[in-house]
Structure 1
Amino acid sequence: MRLSALALLLALPALRADEGMWTFDNIPVKQIKAKYGVDLDAAWLKHLQLATVRFPGGTGAFVSRDGLVVTNHHVGRGAIAQISSAQADLVKNGFTAARKSQEIRVPGLELMMLVSMKDVTERVNGAVKPGMADQEVLAARLNALAELRRTEEAKTGLTCEPVTLYQGGEYWLYRYRKFTDVRLAAAPELQVAAFGGDPDNYTYPRHNLDFALFRVYEDGKPYRPEAFLPFSAKGVAMGELTFISGHPGTTFRQQTCAQMVYARDIGIPFQLRSLERQKKALQAFSATSPEARRLAAEVIYGIENGHKRLSGQLLGLAKAENLKKVEVAEAALKAAVAKDPALQARVGGSWDRVAQAVAGQQALLRETTYLGAGRGTLTGRVASLRHALTLVWLAEETARPSAARISEFSDGNLKATTAQLLSPRPVQKPIDLALLAAGLEAAREELGADHPFVKAVLGGRSPEAVAKAAVDGTKLDDPAERRRLAEGGRAALEASTDPMILLAKQFDPFSRAIQRRMEEEVTSIFNEHGGRIAEARFKAFGRAVYPDATFTLRLGYGPVATYANGTGTLAQPFTTFMGMYDRHLGWGGNAAASEHGAWTLPERWLKRQSKLDLATPFNFIYACDTVGGNSGSPVVNVKGEFVGINFDSVFEGQGGYYVYDPDTKRAVATDGRAILEALRKIMDAGPLADELVGK
């Protein structure tokens, strides 16, 4: 029985024509054609899909027939820092390979290209048996997905990832081709790529040359991609329709009111305080030497970026009209469900169950943060401790039947977990030391000195002493040592005297216990009853709405468009090189570096200023629906030509992680014309510019 037409109308979110992060199997082509007169055919979409790649934490795109990939400088910054040194700081000073032989390989950097998608919803739901408890349902679905992943990878030879959409309305396997030989070809200086620094972050107008060029190789030769995006010679204009293809990380638009209120009042404020502690610890380390400053810069940047993004989300949730939209939609969906007896029996109590789980989430927040093993926890932030705990769990879990293991260690997921453990990406011990000491200190403050975990781990010692002993003495920064312990199994772990392994063993029982409680009291309920609510919404609207972002490939669309940014006027659609130099001079130039260093410029940008066409469009603002993870996403015109690269969105629009606001949701891109101008006139990279335009 379908919900009534009136109920459908009432419960349907106010979906604007340009709202949405659409999966490539469900692009709203009719909607786009009706509004813009543009007919996207299957070949156009497939080309864009295959030209787009996923970076760790962001997106990129093939932009030449010889495997050049463009992404944001800030997405590639970690990789650039990895191949830098005190003698050759490529982040600070930039880099251009004069020829392909000078391009620098980044060990451990992997790019992923989505090849195809497979709907496995029926098979996953078939694993759920009548009478199962919520936690058993969660485990059954996770095990089914893991097994499907294992068999699909064996059959296709591709890297497969399970994807949950519509909060459990659909389950998919995404099949990727993985590229492991990735080399840096060119990058501008940090001071130009991130001009304006943290003060200008998430604002507009902007002047950021936020791009970097990498090249993918296979068998020692430049990869010839099946699809790439040529740079547009014309560029883009005000009001022109654009499309963005990328991997938005996470949105929360389908959460309940109770979950959003928790995020506003508890979750986000706690995360902000945690980030402030980490930043303080890293700033103290950074002040000890120029090399410490270089090592810490990337991590501090990430913390500052996350803090500002969360602050914007909090601002959006604090707007009464935003949560009012959610309340109205939720009430309408509840009323619609109540009119369907079968649906009411299945879903009617789910909102209360989710609210109960939210209370459990709040009660466990501190212990989850300091005892848990997931992203955002203490162990998740400290690379060597994360590796150590993975090794401890690997030895324990693989001794159990696959279905009884923690999901990450089941047969279907073991390959991916092991690959992360053995990745050659470097572990920076000084960063681990600063973060571990700060995290243990925070645990003592938040949990109390008498908490069993604090007493077990510290044993009467200071957080600094415990952290120093573990980090200084560990050999887990060496991938070969991690491999030796992984292959040695339980016997190797029992014999190990590595201090980080010993610390992980102290964490282990507490991590397991808190994970078990979280699954029982929170995660399984969110999964099951959030899924039931999604089921009702899905029954009403089907695929007429888009799923929350999951760091999977999505398409967005919208025109180059201004907005009222609270200053009493409209934001300009384009900035120029002229504007960057004006802002530089307006802050006192390089003479003001000590006080206003965010707006200084590298010397070669001052010496070669006269070579530039200062009227060249630099950044532009447009109305595509984006969030974090879309950094580095290609922005293309209706011909599928590259016109820019997404690097940010405005502060006022950060509430869009939870509630879409068409008046403030604006993304910011570096114009392709600015990239070409800089390559030719400043960066001594004319051949790369020629390659991008097909010469």
Structure 2
Amino acid sequence: MTLRRLLLSSALVATPLAMPGAAFADEGMWTFDGFPAARMQKDYGWSPDSAWLDKVRSAAVRLTGGCSASFVSPEGLILTNHHCVVDCAQNLSTADKDLVANGFVADTRSKETKCPGQQAEVVTAITDVTDKVKGAIGSETGQALVKARDGAIANLESLSCPDTKLTRCQVVTLFGGGQYKLYQYRKYSDVRLVWAPEFQAAFFGGDPDNFNYPRYALDASFLRAYEDGKPVKVASFLKWNPRAPQPGEATFVVGNPGSTQRLFTSDQLAFQREVSLPITLAIYSELRGRVITAMEQSEAKKREGGDTLFGIENSLKVFIGRQQALNSPAFTAKLAAAEADLKAKSAGNAALGNPWGDVAKAVSAYREVYLPYRFMVPTSDLYDYAETLVRAAEERGKPNAERLPGYTDSSLPLTEKQLLDERPIYPWLEQLKLGWSFSKAREYLGADDADTRLILGKESPEGLAARLVAGSKLADPAVRKALWEGGKAAIEASDDPLIQYARKVDPRERELKKLVDERYTGPLASAGAKLTQARFAAYGDTQYPDATFTLRISYGKVAGWKERGADVTPVTTLGGAFDRATGNEPFNLAKSFAANEARINKATAYDFVTTNDIIGGNSGSPVVARDGSVIGAAFDGNIHSLGGNYGYESDVNRTVVVSSAAVHEALTNIYPAPALVKELAGKGGKGGKGK
């Protein structure tokens, strides 16, 4: 589901929670061109060399659905999490063929099925373009700074990746504006579902177990990248290693952490604690209740709404954990100490000015425009289509450097793919989400607010939602294609109510964005560059940057922790799932587990925990052993990891991993896939040759 812009906070990010300027052992989401080899050598007595890092980097995969993955065979086979493919499974399901509930096994290549909107990307080069972007910015401030920066980025991306069919370029902002790097990707736009267990196996324990441990979840799946109708032949892949993890052994997590807020100043943290998070928790809780109530009305709605509910509940738990972290005096005291230390070390540096004061001023200005900026855009897949079509018609007529992000030459191929790929739309769910969005806008803005009147006119939230969904034909990809290809003339002539609605509110959306850029985004970029100077001057420039959903590597080890004075085991077994099962949701065994109990080796390692530093976006990341083999896929963190958005605590923060051993046992005895087992063993699968 799409829950866009519900967290409209800035991305001035990423410094350690450790003693100011230092990093705990195992802390850090490092770029591959900045891996701390000397530090790991000191901590572990060993560190990977450049050849090891290059091989692992070139086998890592980023999925456009917001997850990570890795190639695990020369035939383009991709390992990721089940929750990273559940949207695909939902889109491919019907009432008679429920791939989410029952799982999916493609016993031949011809049955591997394309995932709508999915794209796999592999980093091929990373280039520092800081001087070019900062040169374009010059002395600009506010909205002019944002415009100059975005224009320079658009041109760099276009010039660096002229072949948009096979490549994608992305300039990434690091250290809140202190650095800019160009990431080049080899992309694969045809990604197909190969294997997925039952949802109940992948999410055993449900929401109560989510972000908790011990866990007994088979949160793993396989995809395959295709090109020209054939599986891709990849030069680099990670060796599959279905063995048990060993307590204390070194582990690496290689993936794309989404975002962190570890560089937030005290004013930004206060905004999170006082404004953003409370609103998010309140409205998400209501949305959860609305969806559950609707799903109880029929078996069809229960099936159709399952993925949406999963996403809402997962997000709610994340936000609750963040709120708790920011309400912890001990935790926030460490953050305050780190900020105070940096201020002390920066005292007397007149060239810096007062970046903390600049941030405070920007946050104060943001408080004034936050509510309309957040609630102007409703939540709905159909509305997303409408907004994309309306904006693309306008933006594509502009020079590349003047377009909005998402509509530049480098971005348009993916935007078009996600717009036009066929996927099911459930009218009841669209109407529910729109009605909820409109009602929350009226509630927080006020019934007499000018933006509320623009959003609703004289209609009720529910009535407007019903009219827009009932009258729209945007669920049909052929209709979307005609509007996309017809451009501005087709959009202006369209009588689709969602297109007309998007055209009505788009000018205000653009106006609000300019206002936010002028008062908030631009000032934060300027302040971020100065804070980076201060940080590098105080602690050196060999720190890990903010998480940006770009490729990172973290190192750690297999290790439990102490919870309320008791040791938490680092590894669970398949047998533990049977012991934990109660027969009642969400602790009921998946049907295939129960049916195959006699065949299952219950001593097989199931899930395990490591000290690796990760965040959302790392889901599906391969967990790599010292020899470069895959021993699992990261799928969660423990409850203590939720504060990891703001800082890492080495004694309790843990990554939760599903073991390759458990996946192998499932492929053999629970959801048999002999061709996959053979392919993973390097003996070739159906339609492919072995190494």
Residue of structure 2 equivalent to 1:630: 618
Return closer, same or farther for 1:250/1:648 CA change in 2, 3 Å cut-off: same
Deviations 1:50-81 (A, max 9, x none): 11111211111111222211110011110111
Check conservation: 1:149, 1:161, Cα contact below 8 A.
yes
- 1:35 correspondence with 2:74: no
- Paired residue secondary structure (1:599): coil
Return closer, same or farther for 1:494/1:687 CA change in 2, 3 Å cut-off: closer
CA distance in 2, matches of 1:260, 1:338: 22
Residue of structure 2 equivalent to 1:650: 638
- 1:473 correspondence with 2:471: yes
Normalising by structure 1, what TM-score?
0.92
Return closer, same or farther for 1:413/1:72 CA change in 2, 3 Å cut-off: closer
- 1:73 correspondence with 2:73: no
Among residues 578, 581, 585, which one is paired with 2:578 in the alignment?
581
Check conservation: 2:155, 2:401, Cα contact below 8 A.
no
Residue of structure 2 equivalent to 1:496: 494
**Equivalent position amino acid for 1:632 in 2:** G
- Paired residue secondary structure (1:266): helix
Check conservation: 1:20, 1:556, Cα contact below 8 A.
yes
CA distance in 1, matches of 2:366, 2:325: 22
Q: How does 1:293-692 map to 2 (within 5 A)?
A: 293-341=302-350, 343=351, 347-372=352-377, 378=378, 381-410=379-408, 413-566=411-564, 568-584=565-581, 587=582, 589=583, 593=584, 597-692=585-680
Normalising by structure 2, what TM-score?
0.93
**Equivalent position amino acid for 2:195 in 1:** A
CA distance in 2, matches of 1:265, 1:630: 28
Higher alpha-carbon deviation: 537-546 or 29-38 = 537-546
Residue of structure 2 equivalent to 1:84: 93
Residue of structure 1 equivalent to 2:117: 108
CA distance in 2, matches of 1:37, 1:285: 56
Residue 352 of structure 1, CA deviation: 1.0
Residue of structure 2 equivalent to 1:4: none
CA distance in 1, matches of 2:207, 2:163: 47
**Equivalent position amino acid for 2:337 in 1:** V
Q: How many residues of Structure 1 are paired with residues of Structure 2 in the alignment?
A: 665
Check conservation: 1:110, 1:181, Cα contact below 8 A.
yes
- Paired residue secondary structure (2:149): helix
**Equivalent position amino acid for 1:40 in 2:** P
Residue of structure 2 equivalent to 1:3: none
CA distance in 1, matches of 2:423, 2:37: 41
Deviations 1:131-173 (A, max 9, x none): x232212211111011111111116852111111111121111
CA distance in 1, matches of 2:22, 2:561: 20
Deviations 1:269-298 (A, max 9, x none): 111112112222222321222111111100
CA distance in 2, matches of 1:192, 1:415: 35
CA distance in 2, matches of 1:14, 1:425: 48
Return closer, same or farther for 1:424/1:538 CA change in 2, 3 Å cut-off: farther
CA distance in 2, matches of 1:526, 1:117: 25
CA distance in 2, matches of 1:605, 1:402: 54
Check conservation: 2:169, 2:410, Cα contact below 8 A.
no
- 1:44 correspondence with 2:52: yes
Q: How does 1:175-324 map to 2 (within 5 A)?
A: 175-324=184-333
- 1:147 correspondence with 2:155: yes
**Equivalent position amino acid for 2:247 in 1:** M
- Paired residue secondary structure (1:352): helix
Structure 2 residue ranges without an equivalent (≥5): 1-15, 684-691
Residue 415 of structure 1, CA deviation: 4.6
Check conservation: 2:240, 2:629, Cα contact below 8 A.
yes
**Equivalent position amino acid for 2:43 in 1:** K
Residue 99 of structure 1, CA deviation: 2.1
Deviations 1:25-57 (A, max 9, x none): 111111111221223111111111111111211
CA distance in 2, matches of 1:603, 1:609: 10
Instruction: Give the helix-richer structure, 1 or 2.
Output: 1
Deviations 1:200-226 (A, max 9, x none): 100000000100111222222222211
Deviations 1:454-505 (A, max 9, x none): 2233222221111111112112222332232233232222211100011112
CA distance in 2, matches of 1:340, 1:418: 48
- Paired residue secondary structure (2:46): coil
Q: Percent identity?
A: 38
Residue 654 of structure 1, CA deviation: 0.8
Residue of structure 1 equivalent to 2:681: 693
**Equivalent position amino acid for 2:359 in 1:** V
**Equivalent position amino acid for 1:298 in 2:** D
CA distance in 1, matches of 2:394, 2:634: 43
- Paired residue secondary structure (1:53): strand
- Paired residue secondary structure (2:541): helix
Check conservation: 1:560, 1:573, Cα contact below 8 A.
yes
Return closer, same or farther for 1:412/1:621 CA change in 2, 3 Å cut-off: closer
CA distance in 2, matches of 1:187, 1:625: 27
- Paired residue secondary structure (1:227): coil
Higher alpha-carbon deviation: 39-48 or 642-651 = 39-48
Residue 543 of structure 1, CA deviation: 3.2
Check conservation: 2:178, 2:528, Cα contact below 8 A.
no
- 1:98 correspondence with 2:98: no
CA distance in 2, matches of 1:119, 1:474: 45
Q: Point out 4+ residue stretches in structure 1 off by more than 6 angstroms.
A: none
CA distance in 2, matches of 1:34, 1:666: 22
Check conservation: 2:20, 2:337, Cα contact below 8 A.
no
CA distance in 2, matches of 1:302, 1:95: 21
CA distance in 1, matches of 2:399, 2:641: 47
Return closer, same or farther for 1:44/1:369 CA change in 2, 3 Å cut-off: same
Deviations 1:636-662 (A, max 9, x none): 100011101101001122111102111
Residue 542 of structure 1, CA deviation: 4.0
**Equivalent position amino acid for 1:357 in 2:** A
